[in-house]
Chains A and B, each alone.
Chain A
Amino acid sequence: MAAAAGGTAQGRGATSFQRKAADGSRLATVVGTRPSVRHGQLLLSSGLPSLDCVLEEDKYALYSNLLFKYFLAEGVVCGHDLFVASAKEHPDNILKELPAPLLDEQRNELGEEATAVKSEDFQDSMKIAWRYQNLPKIEASPTTSTKFGHYYDISKTMSPELFQSIKWHSFYLPEELSLQPTVKTCNMNSAYGRLLLSIQRVIYQEGFDGSDPQKKQKNILRIGIQNLGSLLWGDDICCSDTPEDIHSLTKFLYVLRGLLRKSLSACIITIPAHLIENKAIMERVTNLSDTVVGLESFIGSERETNPLYKDYHGLVHVRQIPRLNSLICDVSDTKDLAFRLKRKLFTIERLHLPPDLSDTVSRTSKQELAGSAKLLSSGCGAMAIGKKHLDF
């Protein structure tokens, strides 16, 4: 899964492929990236360069903004260039609120708590659910230091010194409109057109597309676009069933993808998908993007009080994973993911069903649980529930 970085369980480091002594890396080394020998690409800690990740916002955009900030924070820590675009909040303010990276001492602190819990597990080997012992343990907390991917403390903001060394560009729509009242765009929403021109200019001028051979030190451009498709961008797909121009957003994404493929850059976009009435648009957006992740938060929904979900704050739906330079993608074994926001960390974990322990459980409640479990189609119990359905 190539969701945004920051304490996620599925890092890209899960591959077991070991390359023998690299005979002088033929792939250009760029700070904060790691070459993927399987696909011949450079990997960023949240995915791949020239990658376009669409994040479907949760209802109040709380958690999607968090992931958005993680992506940018990772860029700052790795020394990448940033490009932040928003129509709602000034990019300066967004950057002021990036989470601080966890330093080594703090990481060990958290690590100790986690290992204390783990050693208990090891001592009593499982008696009833012994089959689960063989499942790989997912690292939900940072215990090993790694240069590829960092962990962030949400309770603190990033110190301004870290910004000194990086170059960042911003695009704040109200400012752009006042600076340049008219701009020629080919049959596309004018705000999107301006944004594309701005991105293209940065890519070209800073040489991210390799157009400047003099530039020795290659770098990555991380682009973050907030709240795309909302009314603030001049697009009415979020407030009308029959929007004026249903193609603007998809045209924008297509051209953006062209720009990203041509340069060393990665882009994360948050979209208020729950507001878009015309579902055809989201289907097309999904087909046009490399990665699409939907966040469903439990705030304000009936699931908030559902005992199944008491440990979590929301679900993660992975709708699309990238298949660049190969026929198949790195598919993780588990499809049911949930996220939770602890005091300092945001983590994404495999969704666990709590054990059904009560003796006096009545028939109806058992069926309710079974019904919800069927929806989850979790890896363990779904086979026993519902119709048996074999393909052959």
Chain B
Amino acid sequence: MAGAGAGAGAERKAQLETVQADGADEGCVTFVLHGEDHTLGNSLRYMVMKNPDVEFCGYSITHPSESKINFRIQTRGGIPATEILCKGLNDLSNASKHVLQTFEAQVKEFRLKQGEAME
């Protein structure tokens, strides 16, 4: 379970931390994602909000000069927030993969059509 821990390895700085949460409630956690901004923050927030077990999800940029975001997830029914975060990341990744496949197929088809039209 993600505690207030740092990442593995002494040289690599942790990219993902959690703000120390009080109480034993694993469903309400604030994650700190380093090196990220609205690009991942907003799209990940959208994916997590699409999950019916989520009671609250939001992100904020603590200070515009620091590139890190505070990403908060509160779940319904005591489901661990880390699981929700994993699912959100996986959903976003799978959706992007599908977009990539569709895009490359369409580009190939467009090129074929262009090639036919020129002959």
A and B co-occur in one complex: no
Show the binding face of B for A, using Cβ within 8 Å. none
